[in-house]
Structure 1
Amino acid sequence: MPLSERQLAAFADKHAWQIPFDTSSRHLAGPGDARHVTHGLAAAGWSAVSDPLSAEIVLRSPGLRHRLQFDPQSATSAWWRLRAEPTDTEAGWYAEFSELVPAEVLAGFTDALIVPPPQQPDSWQPVTSAGWHRDSDGTARSPDSMCHIELRPLSEFRDRPSWHVETRETGHGEFSGTRIWHAYFDERTPAHLVGSFLTALADRSPLQRGMYDRTGHYSAVQEPSPLRPQQVVEAHAMRLKSLRAQARFARRQQTKPATTPASVGPAHPAARR
């Protein structure tokens, strides 16, 4: 489903007239524009299979293995759901994200479906490198202690650990504060995808939000951005162009026939003069 000029123009119309504010920390920045996710997947060839007049959006990958559902009317706390069907060589998996997960952070996860990043030996590395506190019990927390990452251990129901990420209000004593958002990755979710999400989450660079955009929490810090509105639009267009090119390259590599060395016939003696 190639992005239409109308769809790109609608994104530009919204952001070209908004004064951007640098908003941090990322886990408090609020949801942002969902098109950071949906436009990226559409640029890579994903197709919409949902009712165009419905509030729900469902996208399918070109190979039909992956399915992304965005449902702002969900009866549960999960607005985003991503499923991968099992194949002959890979297990199926499931991930979900609630309403206030920043779209740019979620896009770090979905972009890695299109362009897998270099393998990281340790999924915790981007978090600890960003100054998050790593606990000895398989958890980590942000410098403000509001975002928690937990690698839950094996259980009688799971033969692998699963990842849980939550941002919460500051609690009192032993009592946890109200949950702001959550992300969940089941035990079969590929490690490089989880690592890409954590990398985008722990990135110290701010996210751009408009003056009246919803943030995840009142303690999010907002300052006038040095970026002009047009630069925000141009950055979005350049990212889509890059994803489109990389997706096409990946598809060509998959369909490229295997090359075999040309058969060499028996050597013939040189003709006598």
Structure 2
Amino acid sequence: MPLSERQLVAFADKHATQITLDTSPRHLAGPGDARHVTHGLAAAGWRAISDPLCAEIVLRSPDLRHRLRFDPQSPSSAWWWLLAEPSDTEPGWYASFGEFVPAEVLATLADALVVPVPTELTSPLSVLDAAGWRVDGSGVAHSDPPGSKIERQPQDGSNTVAWHVDVRDGPSGLDNGKHLWHAYFHGHTPEHLVNAFITALTDTAPLQRGLFDRTATYGVTHGPSTVSPQQTVAMHTARIKALRAQARSLRGHQNRAASTSSNAANSRPAFRR
């Protein structure tokens, strides 16, 4: 079922009435509202295929290749899974994310799935270096101050590279701090998706959280919000409209390309013996 106005109103009702705080750093801001992720994909034509009376949410893309699963009752450390089936031209891949991944960060990756791929790509390590992270020669980057580590992991038996994000909280930094959440990208995950996630994670702008939202217990800072609840709702609505328009434009382009290909095939002269 596509995203409805009733669902958008429910999002607006929650965010327009809560006391909002600017929360930073992002990796400690807590999960936030999962609808930042699910509303964007639904606006782009993804369909819910899960039981509506179950806490688990499963969305499937219009081309049936991609699936997103959110399971707040998961017995594992991964509450979010993004999976891509192999196609005739591309291998399959998956990515997983822990409970405390900020929904706004994950939404940036989800949006990158449904918009055109950037024409210019850069290495995730270059993105981290530009963000001021400490990148060593072994493909490991640390945030400054400590709290997050992103590691480049060559996969055995292939030329692909996986990426692992480890987020911890505590005065002792990564080694002894409390583990909060992880993100893992399989080696065949398109690099522009990894870049989208890392770019959003390393953004120094605070995230908006309600007064009683769950966040990490140490190292997180709160302050009066620079974004009003009404602005939060307006930005969400504008993003949804933009994704709908982009998805509609992309489908139109794909339909025209398929029609052109079909017409070209039909116009070929018949073979005569």
Using the size of structure 1 for normalisation, the TM-score is 0.90
Structure with higher Rg: it is: 1
Q: Shift in Å at residue 142 of structure 1?
A: 0.9
Q: 1:221 maps to what in 2?
A: 221
Structure 2 counterpart of 1:136: 137
The aligned counterpart of 2:7 is 7
The one-letter amino acid paired with 2:137 is S
C-alpha contact (below 8 Å) 1:80/1:97 kept by paired residues: yes
Q: 5+ residue gaps in structure 2?
A: 268-273
1:44-63 equivalent positions in 2, closer than 5 A: 44-63=44-63
Q: State the Cα distance separating 1:229 from its structure 2 match.
A: 1.0
- Superposed displacement of residue 178, structure 1: 2.3
TM-fit CA distance, 1:130: 1.6
CA RMSD, 1 decimal: 2.0
The letter of the residue matching 2:260 is A
1:30 and 1:217 in contact (8 A); partners too:
no
- The structure whose residues are more often helix, as a share, is 2
- What residue in structure 1 maps to residue 270 of structure 2? none
Structure 2 counterparts to residues 29-40 of structure 1, below 5 A: 29-40=29-40
Amino acid at match of 1:35: R
Structure 1: unaligned runs, 5 residues or longer: 264-273
Tell me the percent identity.
58
Structure 2 counterpart of 1:145, one-letter code:
P
Structure 2 counterpart of 1:251, one-letter code: R
Deviation at 1:171, TM superposition (A): 6.9
Which amino acid in the other structure matches residue 36 of structure 2? H
Match of 2:167 in 1: 167
Q: 1:27-78 CA distances to partner (integer Å, 9 max, x unpaired)?
A: 1111000000000000000000000000000000001000111001111110
Deviations 1:64-117 (CA, angstroms, capped at 9, x unpaired): 000111001111110000110000000000000010000000011111000145
TM-score (norm 2): 0.90
How many pairs does the alignment contain?
Answer: 261
Closer/same/farther in 2, CA of residues 42 and 142 from structure 1, 3 Å limit? same
Q: Secondary structure at the match of 2:18?
A: coil
Matches of 2:197 and 2:77, distance apart in 1: 19
**Contact 2:26 / 2:201 at 8 angstroms: preserved in 1?**
yes
For the pair 1:198 / 2:215, whether they are aligned, the reply is no
> What's the counterpart of residue 258 of structure 1?
260
Is the 1:19–1:228 contact (alpha carbons within 8 Å) kept by the matching residues of 2? no
Aligned to 2:125: 124
The letter for the 2-side match of 1:124 is L
Give the match's secondary structure for 2:33.
coil
C-alpha distance in 2 between matches for 1:252 and 1:125: 35
Q: 1:174 to 1:229 in 2, by over 3 A?
A: closer
